[in-house]
Amino acid sequence: MCADSAGPPWQTRKSWQAANFSIRSLLERHPKQMQPLFQTALEIRQRLDVLDAIYDELCPQTCPFCPEPCCARADVWFDLRDLLFLHAGFLPVPLKNPRKPDHVPCWFLGSGGCRLPRKSRPWICTWYLCPAQKRRLQNRRPAAFIQLRTLTGEIGAYRKQLEKHFIRVAGAPSAACKRDGFREEKAGSRA
């Protein structure tokens, strides 16, 4: 799951499939150890449900009138935390990363907006609030603006937890290795 030094990870179909297979396999192989991931994904989903209501009202009031819609010009992709959330949250995983050639709109942009459900989009697509949206919320719905900022902060923290826990479990020696007499090498030790 290495990133190409020229851009985001998983740019090819093969690397995208391999990354998703690896994550899914580790979650299935270690269900008890991964339980905190499933709980964290649920916490994120609950917060995204609230954000959905805010964005479902906000986006139709701003996006159609934007001279440079972010979906048409932004260069976005799924990162590891996005994939962990999709898999641990039992959400549909898109068939490919939205990475595209320069100056081409996002692969998932349709005539009515994004074709992906909000929960299945890269986090940046939900986290980013353009200046027009920010102004509109601050001026017309200040409580919703505060709620949005609070929820995005909480989701950001939960996303870090997802990654940290996944790496801790995925990097730990398995019980089979321990049972078969393999031991984890300490830095600087000799076998």
The two tokens of residue 45 are: 């989903």
Identify the pLDDT of residue 1.
Answer: 42
- pLDDT value for 182: 41
pLDDT value at position 172? 63
From first to last of its 191 residues, what are the pLDDT tens digits of the chain?
444 445 678 888 899 999 999 999 999 999 999 999 999 999 999 999 999 999 999 999 988 888 888 888 888 889 999 999 999 999 999 998 887 667 778 889 888 888 999 999 999 999 999 999 999 999 999 999 999 999 999 999 999 999 999 999 988 655 544 544 444 434 343 33
* Sign of the CA dihedral with 98 first, then 133, 67, and 53 last: positive
* Residue 123, amino acid: W
CB 99 within 8 A of CB 92: no
Element (H, E) at 155: helix 142-171
Which of 188, 169, 166, 175 shows the shortest CA–CA distance to 80?
Answer: 166
Burial letters for 101-138: b for 16+ Cβ neighbours within 10 Å, e otherwise?
eeeeebebbeeeebebeebbbbbebbeebeeebeebbe
Q: Which pLDDT belongs to residue 189?
A: 39
- What is the domain partition of the chain in residue ranges? 13-170
Residue at 15: amino acid letter: S
Strand partners, 109: 114
> CA–CA separation, 33 vs 12, rounded Å?
30
Say how far apart CA 166 and CA 1 lie, in whole Å. 14
In the block, residue with structure tokens 């090819």: 12
Q: Strands 109-110, 113-114: parallel, antiparallel or unpaired by DSSP?
A: antiparallel
User: If DSSP codes are grouped into helix, strand and coil, which group holds residue 85?
Assistant: helix
Cβ neighbours of residue 53 closer than 8 Å, sequence gap 6 or more: none
Query: Tokens 């986290």 — which residue?
Result: 127
Strand partners, 128: none
User: How much is the pLDDT for 2?
Assistant: 42
